Each structure stands twice: as structure tokens, then as C-alpha cells.
Amino acid sequence: MMTQYDNKKILIADDEPQMLELLRAYLAKSKFDVVEAANGLEVLEKIKDTTFDCIVLDVMMPEKDGLSTCLEIRKLSEVPIIMLSARGDELDRVHGLELGADDYIVKPFSPRELVARINSLLRRSQTPVKADHEVSERTFGGISIDEKGRNVRINGEEIELTPKEFDLLLFLTKHTNQVWTREQILEQVWGYGFYGSLRTVDTHIKTLRMKLGDFSNYITTIWGVGYKFEVL
């Protein structure tokens, strides 16, 4: 049976040939168009000429590791990125998310889980077109958020946000002065099937505040509860 994700182009990068073969076979069986890479340098070469719907990066690779590759990709594209790692330390997961990754899977994992994560990211990246009467741009002081164009300007100058930072800011500004717990934010912004920790929210709030600069105080911490975008 055909699905909306058939033939989506997925780039997978891992320096273990057996892992690459396993993932390629399973993703191909799931109707994805799979391209392989053995290290980060190959990934950066391939994305020059091809547009991918999702990129899966192993953290530990020769030539150029997954984390530095993720950082380079984020300078060029908002393509969804999933990091793979044999290390499950929270600091490692948080670091990957800070660099712009959308999800993080700890080895060993089942190929079925990877497919589920990819499908979840594809669903969230395919934002439906808004009706003309819906608000496309929101302004709060010197912050201007263009939902359709997916860009944010501070005092007229565009700032660079990762896809998830933009989604988080947009969600909070759509519900001004409403307090949201970390669990609620994870579910609403990352999706119900996201497997990350609550620290993921804190990390993205921290980087978002840094990028908002003088307007960081709009995002208020409600101690023991969560966060809100406060408009007086």
C-alpha cells in the first residue's frame, strides 16, 4: 500500500558497513529512497547536489564526525536530522540537539524504531498551508515572526533559528501568557512519539533566549512548572 512517505529521499551516514547495509535494506523495504555515506565529508558532498527529506548521522565517524557534520548542515539547510550514537549520556544527547539535530537514537535500536522516528519527523516538517484569514505574522516588541516564511526578525534583522527552535517559539507565541509544562511542550512541539528527555525543552529554551538577545525576557520560567511567553 502506498503512503505519503513513499520515495522520500533519506541519507544515512555510518562508518560500519554492516549497519549501513541493515538500515539501507530496512528503509528501502519501507519504500524510502536511500543514499549512503561512510563519513561526514561524504555527507556534505552529497547534499551539495541532492535535496534530502531526512538525514541520519552516526555520531562517531572518521574524517568528520556526526556532530560537526550536523553543525555544517544547519548552516545550509533545515532538513530533519536524526543522530545515532552508542553513547546514551544525557549530555551527549543535549549537545546533539543544541547543534540542530531533531532527534537522537541510542544504539542498539531496532530499524522499526528508526522508521517510526523518520516518519514522525516527516509529518512535522510538512506543515500544512494556512488559510488566508489566519495570522501569518506576529509581532511582539522588536520580535517579528513570519509563520509562512518560517523566519524571525529582531528589530528588522533576520536571525538564524533551527527548525525546532522556530517551532518552539511559534508555539509559545501562539499561546501568550499561558504556562506550559515541559511534558506538554514536548508533546505539542516534538510530537507524542518523541523519545527525548525533558532536558530537551530546557536546552532549546536556553539557545532560543540567547538568539532573542534583548528580548529573551519574553520567555518566562515558571519554577517548578514550565515556561510561558509573557506579553504584558
Residue 62 vs residue 123, higher pLDDT? 62
Q: Minimal CA–CA distance to 117: which of 9, 168, 190, 15? A: 190
pLDDT of residue 88: 62
Dist. CA 176–CA 171, nearest whole Å: 9
**Domain map (residue ranges) of the chain:** 9-125, 137-229
Could you report the per-residue pLDDT of 47-105, keeping only the tens digit for each?
Answer: 988 999 999 999 999 889 999 999 899 888 888 899 998 776 666 677 777 778 888 88
C-alpha grid cell, residue 193: 512519539
- For residue range 188-213, what is the model confidence (pLDDT) as tens digits? 887 755 556 677 888 889 999 999 99
Instruction: Let me know: does 84 contact 36? Beta carbons within 8 Å.
Output: no
Residue 89 has a pLDDT of 63
**Residue 13 pLDDT > 90, yes or no?**
yes
Query: pTM of whole model > 0.85?
Result: no
Q: What is the CATH number of domain 137-229?
A: 1.10.10.10
In words, the CATH class of domain 9-125 is alpha beta
Which residue pairs, CB below 8 angstroms and at least 24 apart, start in 104-111?
Answer: 104/196, 105/195, 109/84, 111/22, 111/23, 111/26, 111/27
Q: How confident is the prediction for the chain on average, in pLDDT? A: 85
Higher pLDDT: 3 or 224? It is: 224
Q: What pLDDT does residue 215 have?
A: 93
The SS3 assignment for 41 reads helix
Specify the pLDDT at position 132: 41
